[in-house]
Amino acid sequence: MSQAKDFAPSCPAPIAQYPQVLLAHGGGGRLMHQLIERVFLSAFSNPLLDTGHDAAVLEVGAARIAFTTDSYVVRPLFFPGGTIGTLAVNGTVNDLAMAGARPLALSAGFIIEEGLAVETLQRVVASMQAAAVEAGVAIVTGDTKVVDRGKGDGVFINTAGVGVVEHGLRIAPASVRAGDAVILSGDIGRHGMAIMAVREGLQFESAIESDCAPLSAPVLDLVSSGVDVHCLRDITRGGLASALNEIAGSAKVGMTIDERPVPVREDVRGACEILGFDPMYVANEGRFIVFAPEHQADRVVEVLRRHPVSGDACVIGRLTLERPGLVVVRSILGATRVLDMLSGEQLPRIC
């Protein structure tokens, strides 16, 4: 990856490798993955970490314990459909769910900026408790720190979660097989556009609400329904396209996706059109992908559709042997192209 001095001098001056971390490094795209690989994975490498899944599954005696962590830095703190607190609880519950685990308990660490109104903090915390109750977990331990004014965006929250894996499946990227069906749990793009709607300078007035929600119920239903679930991945930053690319990369399989059945709500589409966003790359917080044997695809859809949060589940593609690591998408006109991971974050454009 080093940009050696080997490019032709006639090209315009190159950007040096970014010596400082950019916001784009947090965008869920290729830059973020490069940072993770270069800095974190290389330093921490071990077999559990290297499975590259949302949660690590530890074998403790006869039990299998799932363990995960996430940090929440979203601004604004409150948005239609949720708060930084609901994101924190559901995000961690969902990471556990993606390992097929039943969530047991969460920790919550708060880094609070000096000057934050206590009432604001109370609103965030109340929303966390409500989300925890809905998800069937308790927040059992935590931490509190305060930083100088200007050193934090109101509040940052870190949550860690433990869950228990009560089935014999190994739900991880390594378990997927060529020929597996790819099933999407519902419509995409709501969370990212709900956030955009509130952020300074890009305001919409219709109520696009975040899809932030816990996913344990449909997942646990699925694993107990007899479906041989190979892998699960929730869609967060970077959107559907990034999640698909992550699995294709980790599992070293190819993927063929059909754009046509992917559901997008009309107001989300409208918001994406006007900002020049591709819904495939817009963040979600209550959607996931299932990788399961082809012959069980219909069963997966049937089970998922029993739950409101995955009521629009549909098959969107298949894993292939060709072109491992690449996600290929079929356009509405029938031509195919590579659906790449984004380099940084999507930026609103006028061009």
Partner 1 sequence: MCLAVPGKIVSMSGDDPWARTAKVSFGGAIKDVSLAFLPDVNVDDYVIVHAGFALSQIDEKEALLIFEDLSKLAAGLDGDGESPA
Partner 2 sequence: MKFIDEYRDPVAAQRWLAAIHGLVTRPWTLMEVCGGQTHAILKYGIDELLPREVTLLHGPGCPVCVTPLEKIDRALALASRPNVIFCSFGDMLRVPGTDRDLLAVKAAGGDVRIVYSPLDALKVALENPDKQVVFFAVGFETTAPGNAMAVYQARRAGLENFSVLVSHVLVPPALEAILGSPSCRVQGFLAAGHVCAVMGYTEYLPIAARYKVPIVVTGFEPLDLLQGIYLSVKQLEEGRAEVENQYSRVVTKQGNRQAQSIVTEVFCIVDRAWRGIGVIPGSGLGLRDAYAGFDAERRFDLSEVGPRPEPAECIAGLVLQGLKKPHECDAFGRRCTPEHPLGATMVSSEGACAAYYRHRRVAAGQEGAR
Nearer to partner 1, 19 or 334 (CB): 334
- Examine residue 208 and tell whether it contacts partner 1 (CB under 8 A): yes
Among 101, 193, 223, 342, the residue binding partner 1 under the rule CB under 8 A is 193
Q: What separation in angstroms does the CA of 323 have from each of 38, 52, 72, 127, 281?
A: 25, 20, 35, 44, 21
Which stretches of 79-235 are DSSP H helices?
A: 84-97, 118-135, 190-198, 216-223
Span from 169-177, 182-190, 263-271, 325-333 in contact with partner 1 (CB under 8 A) = 263-271
Residues 225-244 touching partner 1, rule: CB under 8 A, are none
- The minimum distance between CB 273 and partner 1, in angstroms, equals 5
Among 148, 266, 332, 333, the residue binding partner 1 under the rule CB under 8 A is 266
Q: What would the x/- binding string for partner 2 be over residues 317 to 346, using CB under 8 A?
A: ------x-xx-x--xxxxxxxx-x-xxx--
> How far does Cα 70 stand from its chain's mean position?
11
CB 155 within 8 A of CB 121: yes
Cα separation of 185 and 97, whole Å?
14
Cα separation of 95 and 76, whole Å?
23
Span from 12-20, 69-77, 261-269, 321-329 in contact with partner 1 (CB under 8 A) = 261-269
Cα separation of 80 and 4, whole Å?
47
CB 160 within 8 A of CB 89: no
Among 123, 177, 269, 299, the residue binding partner 2 under the rule CB under 8 A is 269
347 by Cβ neighbours in 10 Å (0-12 / 13-18 / 19+) ranks as: exposed
Nearer to partner 2, 117 or 350 (CB): 350
E strand map for the chain? 56-60, 63-72, 78-79, 82-83, 101-113, 138-147, 155-165, 181-184, 231-235, 254-258, 287-292, 314-320, 327-330, 336-338
What phi and psi values does residue 165 have, to the nearest 5 degrees? -95, 115
Report what 60 binds from partner 2, partner 1, none; CB cut-off 5-8 Å by kind. Answer: none
Q: What would the x/- binding string for partner 2 be over residues 11 to 50, using CB under 8 A?
A: xxxxxxxx-xxxxx-----xx--x----------------
- Examine residue 3 and tell whether it contacts partner 2 (CB under 8 A): yes
Nearer to partner 1, 197 or 297 (CB): 197
Report what 193 binds from partner 2, partner 1, none; CB cut-off 5-8 Å by kind. Answer: partner 1
Kindly state the DSSP code that residue 236 receives in the 8-state scheme. Answer: B
Among 76, 115, 179, 276, the residue binding partner 1 under the rule CB under 8 A is 276
- Examine residue 205 and tell whether it contacts partner 2 (CB under 8 A): no
- Examine residue 148 and tell whether it contacts partner 2 (CB under 8 A): no
Going by C-alpha positions, the residue among 348, 321, 326 that lies closest to residue 339 is 326
Among 273, 294, 298, 322, the residue binding partner 1 under the rule CB under 8 A is 273
Cα separation of 259 and 272, whole Å?
16
Which residues here bind partner 1, judged by CB under 8 A? 193, 203-206, 208, 265-271, 273-274, 276, 349-351
